[in-house]
Homo-oligomer: A and B are copies of this chain.
């Protein structure tokens, strides 16, 4: 029984985790896969670390140069765990060119260059596995690509950035500010020194673009995604949302609307009683609505060495199990066959319809609310709920919080501009989108 040989590119957190889990559970994995899966090449810049980890294990070769591994004749699957676009893109394309199957955890690479990579793999008849690119160990790619094939997917809503969810959970439970919690998260290693990718929604948008592509059978188009982060959320908004029966989460949402696909990441009010609203800390969850199955939810750790390794190895086992299938009959990379992708357009945000939480600081005097209500009514925006606070002792201003019914974002942007122009309204209107997810 010949082993499947894996060449590992990168020996950081996930690379090391993959090595550890594959070794620890090798007997179990062999019983499942039917063939031993063995890492026989590791390319890394930290050779000492790799040497230390692999000591005493026969048949493992270390290299400084990943280019050597992607073309080595004794490698069957190249496992790309370097991250980033360069040089990962070229290495993956070279591996495919040399007839290797590829397993990758690289969401940025796929979200931006997936179309090119899958086309190359399709032409060569090799597989590309990327379960680890979205939501860590949760087998969400498999669920979308294989588990829900009977369905016309209506929408996907995901908490797919653990750092942001950790920050929001802490802000809510402790009433702390974004800045305070971010600093703590950085100290704990939950957030990077430069947290932009996480807290500005870019990482979530990468993952969302990948899921949307599989759900709707469209080419990956990260550049069409709208991303808005959590940096401007205040404790007050979180508290007001709670008073109204909602939680604020950073949600990645892909929806099939009448005229195209919505692809957007932003802070979102969700009814507190929804299961996904109760996903706390650094955990991830993805809610998928299919026309036949209804809503299904997938929950687990979205990052970390071993959860991510779990997804990487699941792909290695899949490739091992399926490599004898006629390439035309294997599971398509994007769930739909490459020659049958759809050209459904992505919608600009101005055409997206959702509900809104609007918070504004107003003078405590008669007629203010009437003016605001008139501005909304003129644009066909109807109000679902409202809180008007008593002004604090000695203050002349107070907060009005409104929830709207469903309306088109373009109209809301206009309305906000008009409200901000009122002499009785101070400063800017805070706007957070709201989704019922039902």
Give the interface of A toward B (CB within 8 A): 17, 21-22, 24-25, 28-34, 131, 136-139, 142-143, 146-152, 217, 275, 278-279, 290-301, 306-307, 309-314, 317-318, 320-326, 328-332, 335-337, 340, 342
Contacts and interface: CB of A to CB of B under 8 A. Distances in A.
18 contacts: A22-B150, A25-B152, A30-B340, A131-B147, A137-B293, A148-B314, A150-B311, A150-B317, A275-B279, A294-B300, A294-B306, A296-B298, A296-B299, A296-B300, A297-B299, A298-B298, A321-B325, A325-B326
A309 B292 contact: yes
A147 B28 CA distance: 14
A2 to B, nearest CB: 13
A30 B335 CA distance: 11
Contacts of A323: 329
Given A24-B291, A31-B336, A325-B329, 10 more contacts: A137-B293, A139-B143, A150-B310, A150-B314, A150-B317, A151-B310, A278-B278, A296-B300, A322-B322, A324-B325
A32 B335 contact: yes
Contacts of A151: 21, 25, 28, 310
B293 A306 contact: yes
Contact of A149 (B32, B296, B332): B32
Given A137-B293, A152-B28, A146 B318 contact: yes
Contact of A31 (B21, B131, B307, B340): B340
Contacts of A136: 293
Nearest to A153: B28
Q: State the 4 A-B residue pairs at the shortest beta-carbon distance, nearest first.
A: A139-B147, A150-B313, A296-B300, A137-B293
Contact of A292 (B25, B149, B298): B25
Given A29-B150, A336-B32, A292 B318 contact: no
A62 to B, nearest CB: 23
Contacts of A296: 137-139, 298-301
A378 to B, nearest CB: 41
A215 to B, nearest CB: 11
Contacts of A330: 321
B150 A292 contact: no
A328 B147 contact: no
Given A294-B307, A296-B299, A300-B293, A329 B34 contact: yes
A335 to B, nearest CB: 6
Contacts of A33: 149
Contacts of A301: 293-296
A34 B328 contact: yes
B321 A292 contact: no
Nearest to A139: B147
Contact of A32 (B312, B324, B332): B332
Contacts of A340: 30-31
Contacts of A29: 149-150
Contact of A21 (B24, B150, B336): B150
A370 to B, nearest CB: 40
A146 to B, nearest CB: 6
A201 B309 CA distance: 36
Contact of A293 (B294, B297, B307, B329): B307
A426 to B, nearest CB: 40
Contacts of A148: 139, 310, 314
A311 B332 CA distance: 19
A166 to B, nearest CB: 15
Nearest to A294: B301
Nearest to A141: B147
